[in-house]
Structure 1
Amino acid sequence: MTSAPEPGPGAGPAASGEERRVRVVLVDDHRMFRTGVQAEIGDTERTGVDVVGEAADVDQAVRVVTATRPGVVLLDVHLPVGGGVEVLRRCAPLMADAQQPVRFLALSVSDAAEDVIGVIRGGARGYVTKTITGPELINSIFRVADGDAVFSPRLAGFVLDAFASTDAPPVDEDLDRLTQREREVLRLIARGYAYKEVAKQLFISVKTVESHVSAVLRKLQLSNRHELTRWATARRLV
């Protein structure tokens, strides 16, 4: 289990003198983000990464991954209707294929322990955050394609702690009422982010942030963001 490395100027598939290629599918519900990642890693002659498909939701992801059988899937954790965990569940037979396994690398804005542990339990081989640089991401893709487990710094500790414990995590019924996106908004609001800052972090509109906050307050029976912050702090979500 390794952290995402800090590659030098010659890092990548050409660093070993070998011509390597990894076929990759991008799964993220934000088109602009997919476009940015494609521009960063998709020059196959330079990077060795061949982006063979994209998807914006769970159903589309399963179809594209099944059709293309890539070496690595870059998977956003927070997708409409089920999230990245649902993609992993439905693609489990592809991950288990001994001849041509499809490996998943989570690429998310979230660095929350519950998100990291959820996708790793689902079968992902690694988890990196969207603050990762292009060269680091390319390096991580090749490592995951080789079967390594790769994590952004500090995230590996979440996984080690979770799997070292034989006790099942306690069920928080209040937290379970929230969708993955609502939890993400909750966490950022509790950290003191303004609505505009949350919108920028999550690539959504301010109006959408307001809707999520209203839904969170209603589901948790809280009155304002100050109560929300206390609630999140008490559960160590911030």
Structure 2
Amino acid sequence: MTPSSDAPPVRVVIVDDHSIFRSGLKADLDASIEVVGEAHDVDSAVQVVTATAPDVVLIDVHLPGGPAAGIAGAAASGTHGDATPSGGAEVIRLAAPHVPGTRFLALSVSDSAEDVVGVIRAGARGYITKGSSGIDVSRAVHAVAGGDAVFSPRLAGFVLDAFGVVSGEVAATDEELDRLSVREQEVMRLIARGYAYKEVASDLFISPKTVETHVSAVLRKLQLSSRHELTAWATARKLL
């Protein structure tokens, strides 16, 4: 999703336990993104996110710290120090109820199924790896802020697992594809691979608005509700 020149900036909080990474990411993000806060562990992340209510939280899945007592409404527990795989998911579970308009986008060096599935089930709207460029991260931020789900292409199988789709429970591919026009099938494959509307438009020599129209038609015909579900659908049918 590409922002218009007069659109307000997307407000973002960066959560990562490495200050150098936070600084580098902040410098690489597009000018249309405003970093309104940073945090380095679970407790500080919950505090900053609930205080600033950003549009998007860029969050690592491995964070040190334990539950924040003031937000969770219970006594603090856990130890500080080593980053744990559940740290990012814990932040989402604790903070999300207090900031319903905020979306969470995982940004991690890890591409393990356990990490991907865990943070998605906690409520993350996307998961991209730290090998992504500043441009890619910026596009993902705008997409998530706009309501889309975004995943690095090679993580599509883990997304499928997160939705509990089991091999053997997939409907006949030919019959479903027959519902889509040739152009809709082209758009479907690119969108399911994680391409932004602008990238699809460039590849197919059509306008982003036309891409949006095709995506809406694809989701309607396949009875899906989001790009997230489309990725799972296409992966299950080995269409990517």
TM-score range, shorter chain: 0.5 to 0.7
1:183-237 deviation per Cα after TM superposition (whole angstroms, max 9, x unaligned): xxxxxxxxxxxxxxxxxxxxxxxxxxxxxxxxxxxxxxxxxxxxxxxxxxxxxxx
Flag structure 1 segments of 5+ consecutive residues without an equivalent.
Answer: 1-10, 167-238
What SS does the corresponding residue of 1:137 show, helix, strand or coil? helix
Aligned to 2:93: 89
TM-score norm. by structure 1 comes to 0.58
Q: How does 1:13-32 map to 2 (within 5 A)?
A: 13=3, 16-32=4-20
Q: Which amino acid in the other structure matches residue 110 of structure 2?
A: S
The separation in 2 between residues aligned to 1:29 and 1:57, in whole angstroms, is 6
Q: What is residue 117 of structure 2 aligned with on the other side?
A: 117
Number of the residue aligned with 1:69: 53
What is the Cα deviation at residue 21 of structure 1? 1.4
Q: Structure 1: which amino acid aligns with 2:55?
A: G
Question: Partner of 1:102 in structure 2?
Answer: 102
Confirm or deny: 8 A CA contact 2:11 2:56 kept in the other structure.
yes
CA distance in 2, matches of 1:75, 1:152: 15
Instruction: State whether residues 12 and 47 of structure 1, in contact with CA within 8 Å, keep that contact through their aligned partners in structure 2.
Output: no
Residue 19 of structure 1 deviates from its aligned partner by 2.6
- Alpha carbons of structure 1 residues 77 and 108: separation in structure 2 relative to 1, 3 Å: same
Q: Alpha-carbon deviation of 1:18?
A: 4.4
Q: Indicate conservation of the 8 Å contact 2:107/2:128, yes or no.
A: yes
**Is 2:166 the counterpart of 1:151?**
no
Whether the aligned pair in 1 keeps the contact of 2:10 and 2:56 (CA below 8 Å) is: yes
Q: Mean Cα displacement is larger for which, 155-164 or 25-34?
A: 155-164
1: distance between equivalents of 2:43 and 2:93? 12
Partner of 1:139: 139
Give the structure 2 partner of residue 38 of structure 1: 26
**2:31 counterpart of 1:47:** yes
Query: Is the CA contact 2:105–2:141 (under 8 Å) kept in the aligned structure 1?
Result: yes
Q: Deviations over 1:123-160 (max 9, x none)?
A: 00000000001111101000000110000112122111
- Where does structure 2 lack aligned partners over 5 or more consecutive residues? 66-85, 167-240
Partner of 1:210: none
Cα distance in 2, alignment partners of residues 55 and 64 from structure 1 = 7
Q: Return 136-145 or 76-85, whichever deviates more.
A: 76-85
Query: How large is the Cα RMSD of the aligned pairs?
Result: 1.9
May I ask how many residue pairs the two structures share in their alignment? 147
Q: Which residue of 1 aligns with 2:72?
A: none
Match of 1:169 in 2: none
Give, in whole Å, the separation in 2 of the partners of 1:109 and 1:153.
15
Report the alpha carbon displacement of residue 67 of structure 1 after superposing the two structures with TM: 0.5
